[in-house]
Each structure stands twice: as structure tokens, then as C-alpha cells.
Structure 1
């Protein structure tokens, strides 16, 4: 499941902000490389399905409920097939090749929401479009990266406090 959580974050983070605009990284070159890295083919249809799922999950993380239909449309063609072993039941994904990665991302999102509700978050920096999985004990992580967004936001808050105290 950890691999699918990594896939979930990798896909969610394929639309970062660059100079104030969203930059698409699920394109032919970068998207295909990401797909192949996670066992996909990198086909145009596979990338389209990944973009659909990414956009829908991002909307859901932000509390925009209309995205459920997009995820349902992807998952309508997917099923889970049980295989019984001496260790227990293993559930295998059964989907058309171009939907496998999108289904894995959707399944990982669902599992994360079930096991760690509220822990899949958008970065608190409004100028960022990245996501994080908050694994901290108190669940208070705010930024995709402390080194970039965290430091920026803390520096801005400090500067604002300094300006406010100078004006008083």
C-alpha cells in the first residue's frame, strides 16, 4: 500500500505552480516517465485517465464534492478479484491497461481517507499547488516541504508581525 500512497502523492503533485500558473507535468514526456516508473505504459489514454483522477481528487481534498462522478466513471470499469492463499485473501485489481494506474491512485486515495481521515492535505501555501500526506502524530503538518513553503510562510508571518509592531 505504501507504493500506492507514493503513487497517489506523485500523481497529485504533477500540477505544481510555476511563476503564478499551474504547470502540467502529466504530459507526454514527464507523465509517461512517471507512469512507466509505477508500472504503467505511459500511453495518451493512461495519462488522460491519470489527469482526470488527479483533478477529481484535488477537488475533493479542497472540499469540492462534484468530483465524485469523475472518479466513479473511472472505477465503473474496474473490479477487484480475490485470490485465496495460505496467508489469506489477496485482492487483485482487474481493469483495462489504460485504467490500472488511475484505479490504483483512486484506491490509494480511498484507503488513505479510511485509515487516516483528514491527513491528505493541500499545502497551506496558497501559491503552491502541491499535496502532502500528514503522518505527524498530532496531524498538524501544513506544508508540502518545510524547506520551501514552510520557510517562506514562516518568514512572511514574521515580516507581517514585525511590520505590525513597528506601526504600533
Structure 2
């Protein structure tokens, strides 16, 4: 099934959440795809944000999400994206982005609870969605003030802007995922080489 991006049709595979960036806040940022290109919105509706909370392993059940909540989550996500990109370029943060991030980081976050004999970790909160967004914001604050900042990469695929932590030993990882973008770009390069030959 095809869905609409701001610039045309995209496949349902492209709508899948990226949850392997290496950081919670970057997983949230990756819910918007190709920031400078097709601009794929993976939270097109309130229920999609709720589904992301569950798929991310943060909540056992989708929380209630209003349109206002969705707008607030998207604003936080965009601020984190801008802050990370500015930090990577060693620029100056926009004060309004810092204020928004700090506001969310100051709210009550998810509380870890041990269940049974240690076989399960669950997350709890009185206001689940707010706690998820507070946890995302706190993770972003930690990332932006850590040495890991130097390991943030942007996917090298032409139509992907997913930011991820490069935890590889040589530090030369190029793709957000080998299964997703890496194989696709290698096949494309292979076809182009054979056309030239």
C-alpha cells in the first residue's frame, strides 16, 4: 500500500519506524523521514504516535493521544533534530529549541519497575505520553552533552536522513541499516555500474 509524502507516493516499508539508531531521542527523530527531501511523516495521526510508544518498547499499551499532543511531540522532535544537527556542525543552538527541550526534560519521565524475579522491566507513569516525551527529551539532553555526539552519523542513502550512533569499531558505518538502506544503495550502485559497462 502506498501513502503520500509531501512530495509523492511512498511505500508502506518506508513508513516503518526506525528503532535501531542507538538512542531513544534519535529513534523519535527518525519518525520523520528524509528531512530535506520527501519529508515522510511516520506520525501522520495521533494513533501513529501511540503505536510508536508501544513499538519503541516504552509503553505496554498505546496511550491516549490528542491532536494537540501530536503537535507537541512533532515540535519536540523537530527541535531535537535541529539541535543535533547544529551540535554536529559545532554551531550555536537556537534559544527557543533549547527552551523547548529543557521544558520537556523537566517533566516527570517514565519510571522503571522490576517485575517478578527480574525477568521483565516495565515502564510506568501517571501521564504516559508526557512521560514518554520527557524521557525522549532527557535522552536528547544526555546525548547533546556527551562524547557520543562525535559518533552521530547521517545515513548516506540519497533519500534517507536517519541519524544514528556509529558504534562500529572503525567508525565508518554509512547506513542507518544494512537491511534497509545499505542493500538498496549497493544494488543501485551495482546496476549503475553495469549500465555504464
TM-score calculated relative to the size of structure 1: 0.65
For residues 25-104 of structure 1, the aligned pairs below 5 Å read 25-26=42-43, 27-36=45-54, 37-39=57-59, 41-44=63-66, 45-63=68-86, 67=94, 69-76=96-103, 78=106, 99-104=130-135
- Whether 1:9 aligns to 2:26 is yes
Unaligned runs of 5+ in 2: 1-21, 109-126
Q: How many residues align?
A: 147
More helix by share: 1
- Whether 1:132 aligns to 2:164 is yes
SS at match of 2:164: strand
| Offset, 1:6 | 4.9
For residues 82-161 of structure 1, the aligned pairs below 5 Å read 99-113=130-144, 114-158=146-190
CA RMSD of aligned residues (A): 3.5
Measured against aligned partners, the alpha-carbon deviations of 1:86-141 in whole angstroms (never above 9, x if no partner) come to xxxxxxxxxx8654322321221232340412223321113013232211122221
SS at match of 2:26: helix
Kept in 2, the 8 Å contact 1:15–1:25? The answer is: yes
Distance in 1, matches of 2:149 and 2:23, equals 17
